[in-house]
Amino acid sequence: MAKRVDMDADVLIIGGGSAGCMAAIRAKELMPSAKVVVFEKGQIKRSGSLCCGMDGLNIVSIPGKDSPELYVESSSIYVEGIEDQMASYVMAKRSFGLLQKLEGWGIKFPRDEKGDYQTLRVHSKGKFLVAMDAPELKTMLADKVLKSGVTVVNRTSATSLLTKDGRVVGATGLNIRTGEFVVCKAKAVILTTGGCARFGLPNSGYLFGTYDYPGNTGDGYALAYQAGAQLTGLECTVSYPLIKDLEAPLLYITLPRGAQVTNVDGKPLGEGHVPMKVILKEFEEHRDPAFVKMTHLSEEKIREIESVLFSTERPVQQRFFEQRGLNFREKPIELKPTEFYLCGGHGITGLVVNEKAEASMPGLYAAGDVANVPRQHLTGAFVFGEVSAEGAIDSLDKTPQPSIDESQVAQLEANTYLPLAGSGKVDLATFEYKLRRLINDYAVPPKNSYKLSQAVEWMDKLEQAWKTEVKVSDSHELGHWNEVGHILSCARLSAQASLERKESRWGLWHYRSDYPERNDAEFLKHLVVQKGEDGATKITTKPIQGGVL
């Protein structure tokens, strides 16, 4: 067994993406003497969904323009009422202060000839997206984290949350380079691990060809569930119409700048903001493909779009379009729905949290895509990164020095290295491919009782095979094996939650052919998933929390 490394922290942050970086920075702002540790499974300078830059903050309520209340109304429409309003309100309320803070760091927000911020409409009501010019935003965040004195443990994948008397008191991790087993005690733990991007299998069959960051494998969902925390929104399986074969962002960048979405006959599906549901309906009803058309735009506008897509967003897009001979001035861009995935930032999946980013277990906070704040995007990651840090720092004086159960740690350590001691013969990549193909077959829309029951049955079978039959030869593959276990857990929980929500909601995202209608009378509420005392999944309901509208 590999060497064990023990650490102590006041605040342990699991995940070094947007929310994790902002939580670390804010914690050090509030208490420079606090010992803040970040577990990052990749390298913090380029990790998370925001691995490069960003062209806009999707949610900013500018004083005197569109109000936080209007944002909550718009958001509630999009998620069809499955939203606790106060968290979304707090995010919108703090959003302009966040923008000003980022400006103070040197991040540019372009203004028009009147001196006003450039705003774009991507929500059903209001113009809440503010244009931003930040091609190296992630490296800036990482540099601020490192300069503030935060201890960053790169290449370390969290394997479990440590609990004592119902409280989260730290976490364990695996260093995928050295194979070391890392144990960190902490007074407060903040989960910022993102969503589950590697869920359904992409059309290309390429395991890492996902729309969202492929390192997001539902780690936080699985860790929180195993520890006993509450999750919700797992039945909301998200898919977006994006660039065919690349599955990269396009609509929010092109449509607000004058592009059109057209059907296969070239007819526009709407002007300006075209809801995702309208585009996906073309595919649902077999009128696909759909296209983004820019041939009518001025050269200046097309160059503006190219500048965003080829530098700030994903530089690989330029090479992709050049190799395919696609010029925005001459041809439309074909769209295709992405793989299905789970995410709080784009959907509603996540840990049950309140407006203070507190999870359902003492000592545990969650921020960003891992938390159940609907469609919070980058603004939510930043705002609740700060909110979670504020709560964690405020709790330190009231929290005794944590102790851990060594017998629990010993069992977790043995479980972490389980496949290295086995005689498995199944290639790990092959196993993941089969797992995610079965997710496509049974756990994603269109759903019905038979398919979802099959999904649960298959996940039970695959879990046993994952433990005993998969071949792992080194610590890097061991980290990959750990990720696959998290994907498997998320698939089971998603199927179980989907079985319970006996209605269709969110368009294609939770369409059940056996219950094709939305049913507000019975299901205008949260479905809460939690591990029961007997180890089985327990599903309860929680009423929607209003208070804003």
The per-residue pLDDT for range 143-174, each reduced to its tens digit, is: 999 999 999 999 999 999 999 999 999 999 99
Residues of the chain with pLDDT > 90, as a percent, come to 89
- Same domain assignment for residues 493 and 450: yes
Share of the chain above pLDDT 70, in %: 100
The verdict on 424 and 524 lying in the same domain is yes
Rounded CA-CA distance 161/371 in Å is 16
Q: Identify which of 421, 342, 399 has the alpha carbon closest to the alpha carbon of residue 185.
A: 399
Number of folded domains in the chain? 3
- What are the residues facing 528 on neighbouring strands? 232, 540
Question: Distance between CA 181 and CA 365 in Å, rounded?
Answer: 23
* Assigned domain for 307 exists: yes
Same domain, 145 and 232: yes
Of 27-41, 409-423, 440-454, 503-517, the one with minimum mean pLDDT is 409-423
Same domain, yes or no: 32 and 147: yes
Instruction: Specify the pLDDT at position 203.
Output: 87
Name the residue range of residue 535's domain: 417-542
Residue 462 has pLDDT above 80, yes or no: yes
Q: How confident is the model at residue 270 (pLDDT cuts 50, 70, 90)?
A: confident
Looking at residue 1, its pLDDT comes to 58
Averaged over 435-456, what is the pLDDT? 98
**Quick check: pTM over 0.85?**
yes
Choice between 203 and 60, residue whose per-residue pLDDT is larger: 60
Backbone angles phi, psi at 195, to 5 degrees: -95, -155
Residue 349 lies in a domain: yes
- Encoded amino acid at 85, one letter: Q
How would DSSP label each residue in 99-168? HHHHHHTT-B--B-TTSPBPEE--SSSS--EEEEEETTHHHHHHHHHHHTT-EEETTEEEEEEEEETTEE
pLDDT at 38: 98
In whole angstroms, give the CA distance from residue 484 to residue 382: 28
Q: Pairing between strand 537-542 and 290-293?
A: unpaired
* Lowest-confidence segment of 109-123, 175-189, 519-533 by average pLDDT: 109-123
State whether 315 and 355 are in the same domain: no
Q: 458 in a domain, yes or no? A: yes
- Band (pLDDT 50/70/90 cuts) for residue 509 is very high
Whether residue 162 is contained in a domain is answered as: yes
Last residue of a domain, one of 406, 434, 449: 406
2 alpha carbon, distance to own chain's centre: 31
In a domain, 58, yes or no: no
**Cis? peptide before 543, omega within 30° of 0:** no
Q: Is the pLDDT of residue 2 over 80?
A: no
Measured CA to CA in angstroms, residue 403 lies from 10, 163, 187, 316, 367 at distances of 13, 9, 10, 47, 25
Residues 308 and 373 in one domain: no
What lies within 8 Å, CB to CB, of 347 at 6+ separation is 195, 233, 236, 237, 238, 374, 375, 506, 509
Q: Is residue 104 part of a domain?
A: no
* Distance, CA of 142 to CA of 16 (rounded, Å): 8
Please give the mean pLDDT across all residues of the chain. Answer: 95
Quote the pLDDT of residue 355.
98
Residue 461 falls inside a structural domain:
yes
Q: What is the pLDDT of residue 171?
A: 98
pLDDT tens across 236-261, in order? Answer: 999 999 999 888 888 888 988 899 99
| 54 closest CA partner among 128, 123, 150, 141 | 141
464 and 495 fall within a common domain: yes
Same domain, 354 and 219: yes
Cα angle 488, 490, 495; round to 5: 100
Q: What is the mean pLDDT of residues 297-312?
A: 91
Which CATH number belongs to the domain containing residue 524 in this structure? 1.20.58.100
Q: Determine the Cα–Cα distance for residues 366 and 384; give it in Å rounded to an integer.
A: 8
Q: Encode 248-281: b = buried (16+ Cβ within 10 Å), e = exposed.
A: bbbbbbbbbbbbbbbeeeeeebeeebbebeebbe
CATH number of the domain bearing residue 303: 3.90.700.10
Do 355 and 321 reside in the same domain of the chain? no
Average the pLDDT over 60-79 and give the result.
96
The residue with greater pLDDT, 522 or 309, is: 522
Kindly tell me if the per-residue pLDDT of 272 is higher than 80. Answer: no
* Domain's final residue, options 337, 369, 388: 337
CB 487 within 8 A of CB 218: yes
Domain end among 406, 434, 450: 406
- Asked whether residue 385 falls in the same domain as residue 349, the answer is yes
The pLDDT assigned to 250 comes to 87
Spatial contact of 16 and 158, defined as CB atoms under 8 Å apart = no
Q: What is the mean pLDDT of residues 11-31?
A: 98
Same domain, 376 and 433: no
Total residues belonging to the chain: 549
Structure tokens at 539: 């599903």
- Does a structural domain hold residue 71? no
**Which pLDDT value is given to residue 51?**
84
Q: What is d(CA 338, CA 329) in angstroms, rounded to the nearest whole number?
A: 25
pLDDT of residue 27: 98
| Six token digits for residue 54 | 């960003």
**Are residues 329 and 185 located together in one domain of the fold?**
no
Report how far apart the first and last C-alpha atoms of the chain are (Å, whole number): 56
pLDDT digits (tens, 9 = 90+) for 207-227: 999 999 999 999 999 999 999
